[in-house]
Amino acid sequence: MHELSVTKSILDILLKHAASNDVSRIINVHLKIGELSDLEGEWIQRYFDYLSKGTVAQGAVIKIKKAPVQFTCDKCFTVFSIDIKKVEEIHCVKCGSAECTLKTGMEYYVEDMEVC
Ligand SMILES: [Zn+2]
């Protein structure tokens, strides 16, 4: 369960941003999470509610978007995204090589936030 530390670092980013932009309240937070990440949105919101008490982010709603999984082909360097739930083996869409490197899919970041 690493949602707690992730949520803490997300909140830190938000509060820092809020402080330097004179934000009085954060309403919505748009979070992007890679499709391969095992982060659970429900837990992030729960930890967020707990950690943000007494801050400008208290009561903010976390909206999560899944970021697609992308691979880079080691041979022809084509970047392609795949639906990880549908494919069992990864092959380059251009040359068919199975030697591909994960580019994105595990990351998480704050895409946007709505404030007032
Ligand atoms: Zn290729």
Question: Which among 60, 54, 104, 64 is positioned nearest to 84, based on CA atoms?
Answer: 104
| C-alpha 102 to ligand 1 mean position (Å) | 13
Q: Are 15 and 84 in contact (CB under 8 A)?
A: no
| C-alpha 90 to ligand 1 mean position (Å) | 11
Q: What is the pLDDT of residue 78?
A: 97
Q: What is the pLDDT of residue 1?
A: 59
Q: What is the pLDDT of residue 2?
A: 84
Q: Which residues of 68-84 are buried (b: 16+ CB within 10 A; e: fewer)?
A: ebbbebeeeeeebebee
Q: What is the pLDDT of residue 85?
A: 82
Question: Which among 75, 62, 71 is positioned nearest to 32, based on CA atoms?
Answer: 62
| C-alpha 33 to ligand 1 mean position (Å) | 26
| C-alpha 96 to ligand 1 mean position (Å) | 6
| C-alpha 104 to ligand 1 mean position (Å) | 17
Q: What is the pLDDT of residue 84?
A: 81
Q: Are 110 and 26 in contact (CB under 8 A)?
A: no
| C-alpha 59 to ligand 1 mean position (Å) | 46
Mean pLDDT of 51-62: 98
What confidence category does residue 113 fall into, taking pLDDT thresholds of 50, 70 and 90?
Answer: very high
pLDDT tens string 58-111:
999 999 999 999 999 999 999 999 988 888 899 999 999 999 999 999 999 999
| C-alpha 14 to ligand 1 mean position (Å) | 39
* pTM for the whole structure: 0.81
Domains and their CATH numbers in the chain? 3-115 (3.30.2320.80)
SS3 100: strand
| C-alpha 78 to ligand 1 mean position (Å) | 6
Question: Rg (Cα) of the chain, in Å, rounded?
Answer: 18
